[in-house]
Amino acid sequence: MNCSEYLVDYLIKNGITDVFGYSGGYIVPFMDALYARKEEIKVHVCYNEQGCAYAADGYARTSGKLGVYFTTSGPGAVNAFGGLADAWFDGVPLMGISGNVPTNEQRGFSGVRQNGFQEMEIVSMTKHITKYSVSPNHAETFPDIVSRAYKLATTGRKGGVVIDFPYDIQKASVGCR
């Protein structure tokens, strides 16, 4: 099972029946995992990323469940920040899943603007409007990241969390480096 399949399985096991998303190249493995389980979890395709975040927020408010949305990398992920801020201020359980460039293409501390196509530092950009914002670097830590994100979004004063999901980690086998 790869990390994308693990995340979809985790969501289903925790009662999530609907997710909201907008496709893009760096979120395809996660979308494939959703498609493979289409009888158990419904994907609502929105007109833009902002709409996905607000739709997931509205879903959470009306259903009492965690709202989940997905976007692709870079500007696609940034477009959803309004929904994250809304969830932060109103205490709404929301999980954003944004695709990102593979870990070997990330700029790290090189000082360049970007290495990968539409690479952006989503974690640092969302840390003040989320309860938890993380970009997994290794598949072996992914189950703990998912569990922590879910728990933080849905307990105490609820709020948004972000998993900035590198392309290679989406495809990596859970428990392997």
> Could you tell me which residues are beta bridge partners of residue 69?
20, 96
Spatial contact of 80 and 52, defined as CB atoms under 8 Å apart: yes
When pLDDT is cut at 50, 70 and 90, the band that residue 176 belongs to is low
Least confident segment among 7-11, 40-44, 121-125, 151-155: 121-125
pLDDT in tens, 87-119: 999 999 999 999 998 877 655 545 555 555 566
The tokens describing 19, both together, are 């997710």
Spatial contact of 95 and 150, defined as CB atoms under 8 Å apart: yes
Closest CA to 97 of 143, 63, 146: 146
Q: Decide if domain 3-151 falls under CATH 3.40.50.970.
A: yes
pLDDT at 58 over 70: yes
pLDDT cut 70: percent of the chain above it: 90
Q: What is the mean pLDDT of residues 25-51?
A: 96
3-state secondary structure string, the chain? CEHHHHHHHHHHHCCCCEEEECCCHHHHHHHHHHHHCCCCCEEEECCCHHHHHHHHHHHHHHHCCCEEEEECCCHHHHCCHHHHHHHHHHCCCEEEEEEECCHHHCCCCCCCCCCCCCCCCHHHHHCCCCCEEECCCCHHHHHHHHHHHHHHHHCCCCCEEEEEEEHHHHHCECCCC
CA 74, CA 5: separation in Å to the nearest integer? 23
pTM of the complete model: 0.92
Q: Residue type at 132?
A: Y
pLDDT at 61 over 70: yes
Q: Considering the chain, what is the average pLDDT of its residues?
A: 92
Q: Where are the domains of the chain?
A: 3-151
CA 75, CA 100: separation in Å to the nearest integer? 11
